[in-house]
Amino acid sequence: MSLEQKINYQLNKYPAVKKYIKRAYQLACYAVSKKIKSEGHIIRISPDDPIHEYFFGYYDKSPWDATMRYMICMRAKDTWSAPDPLGTADILLIDTKEGNKVKQIATTHTWNVQQGCMAQWLGPDFKSRILYNDMRDGKYCSVVFNVEIQEERVLPIPCYTVSSDGKTALSLDFSRLHSLRLGYGYAELPEVTKGVALPNTTAVWKMDIETGEVTELLKYTDFVNLLPRLEMQEEGSVHKVNHLMFSPNGKRFMVLYRWFCGQRKYTRLVTCNVDGSNMYVLSDDDMVSHCYWKNDNEIIAFERKKEFGPGYYLMKDKTQEWQHLWGQLSNDGHPSYCPTDNNLVVIDSYPNRARVADLKLLRDTDPEGKDMKVIAKVFAPFKYDNETRCDLHPRWRQDGKAICFDGVFEGHRGLYIVGL
């Protein structure tokens, strides 16, 4: 762990103080750093429109349809004032074969700056239907929009992750997520469990997308009772779940279970069958952040192992087998595997001292990272920071020949691609 990481770890106990110390440190470092706006073969896909902000969302979904012609994009007026904005955002289709022509197809009332409204192409064909979250009749919901016949179908709950066959979705409490993790939940409706540290209520729901049937899958207490630790049972410890993700075959999913003891945060990576059975604690060393299924049995994650510290680890599901990858990378990022090359990984970084973030390609067959390639670097203005920062969130095109990311190096959010 670097000196900066150790200081940051201690400052996490004092968030108000940390905010000012961090900004002063950033300004001082930026003042003496080499200035970079962008480097790499970067192409803007969204309109050159300084009035609006354009972005897609999270790294676990691809904006491209199966034909690789159309891309989903969101458009909003302000993404720097609030991480979970009130009001609406537009959902667009960008036609990359017609000069990146833009067409608005929907409007959503439920979105945030990190994950958008979970807009995604729906399987199994990934080209005729788009699913996104919204609010109708005073309730959060999800909408399946058929782009070919311009018809929609409203489902009773919002979605967090969807199986590749387009039949099953998982959901969580987006209002509680807003209260406990700004930038990832929705602010339109009040949290029903507000003030309750450990609710005896549902934490994860399952929905049949074809019928709309909803099943209460797991409670917060199910996570607490799974190999319980003393920190979970401290008086006043606050519990939540986040980052649900289906395995490629849709038979299991992963979930980050987090609890807070004062300013101290603990995270477990838990995997589970789609029916809620066979829960397994895959990682329990206090810190796990961004994960991705390599295949149905392996997960890559940025986490902190007590033996080796923070870094990227490739883990085998339902076992304690793991491999430490690329020891020189000790800072967090968002990893994902190439659809056409099951050993190739793209990872982004957070802005460094010069406020520059990058995209890197690595192979898990090269665990020492000798052939690591930086394919893009982009500047992050101070306007976009903390909860309203712009993470790059790289996503693969289906043919593995391009990567899409969100960026702010031109002064406002835009959707960009890097050709490989």
State the DSSP code for 389. -
**Cβ(372)–Cβ(360) below 8 Å:** yes
Distance CA 134, CA 154 (A): 9
Q: What is the DSSP letter of 12?
A: T
Q: Phi and psi for 135 in degrees, rounded to 5?
A: -130, 125
Q: Mean pLDDT, to the nearest integer, of 297-311?
A: 95
pLDDT of residue 11: 62
CA distances for 418 relative to 32, 248, 343, 406, angstroms: 29, 25, 19, 11
Query: From CA 138, how far away is CA 135, in angstroms rounded?
Result: 6
What's the mean pLDDT when you consider all of the chain? 94
Exposed, middle or buried, 16 (CB in 10 Å: 0-12/13-18/19+)?
exposed
Question: Residue 12's pLDDT is what?
Answer: 63
Mean pLDDT of 386-408: 97
Q: 45 in helix, strand or coil?
A: coil
Rounded Cα–Cα distance for residues 193 and 48 (Å): 42
Domain boundaries, the chain: 1-32, 33-419
pLDDT category, 33, cuts 50, 70, 90? confident
d(CA 129, CA 125): 8
219 pLDDT more than 80: yes
pLDDT class of 27 with cuts at 50, 70, 90: confident
Contact 67, 148 (CB under 8 A): no
**pLDDT given for residue 263 in this prediction:** 86
Cα 39 from chain centroid (whole Å)? 24
In this predicted structure, what is the pLDDT of residue 339? 97
- Cα–Cα distance measured from residue 323 to residue 90, given in angstroms and rounded to the nearest whole number: 42
What mean pLDDT comes out for the span 16-45? 82
CATH number for the domain formed by residue range(s) 33-419:
2.130.10.10
What mean pLDDT comes out for the span 262-283? 96
The tokens describing 388, both together, are 């309203």
Strand partners, 171: 205
What single string gives the DSSP state of each residue in 165-202? TSSEEEE--HHHHHHHSTTSS--SS--TTTT-SS-SSE
The pLDDT of residue 22 is 74
Q: What is the pLDDT of residue 10?
A: 65
Three-state DSSP class for residue 86: coil
Model pLDDT for residues 82-135, shown as the tens digit of each residue:
999 999 999 999 999 999 999 999 999 999 999 999 999 999 999 999 999 999
Contact yes or no for 157/171 (Cβ under 8 A): yes
Strand arrangement of the beta sheet that strand 53-55 belongs to: 53-55, 70-76, 89-95, 101-108
pLDDT (tens digit per residue) in 335-366: 999 999 999 999 999 999 899 999 999 999 99
Measured CA distances, 181 to 101, 149, 264, 300, 416 (Å): 35, 37, 14, 23, 27
Please classify residue 103 by burial: count the beta carbons closer than 10 Å to its beta carbon, then call 0-12 exposed, 13-18 middle and 19+ buried. Answer: exposed
Cα–Cα dist 258/352, whole Å:
27
Give me 7's structure tokens.
Answer: 């200081």
User: What is the number of other CB atoms lying within 10 angstroms of the CB of residue 383?
Assistant: 13
Q: Which two tokens stand for residue 178?
A: 């807003």
The size of the chain, in residues, is: 420
Q: Is 239 helix (H, G, I), strand (E, B) or coil?
A: strand
Place of tokens 């979250």: 133
Q: How many Å is the maximal CA-CA distance in the chain?
A: 59
| Torsion region of 39: left, alpha or beta (phi above 0 gives left; psi -120 to 50 gives alpha) | beta
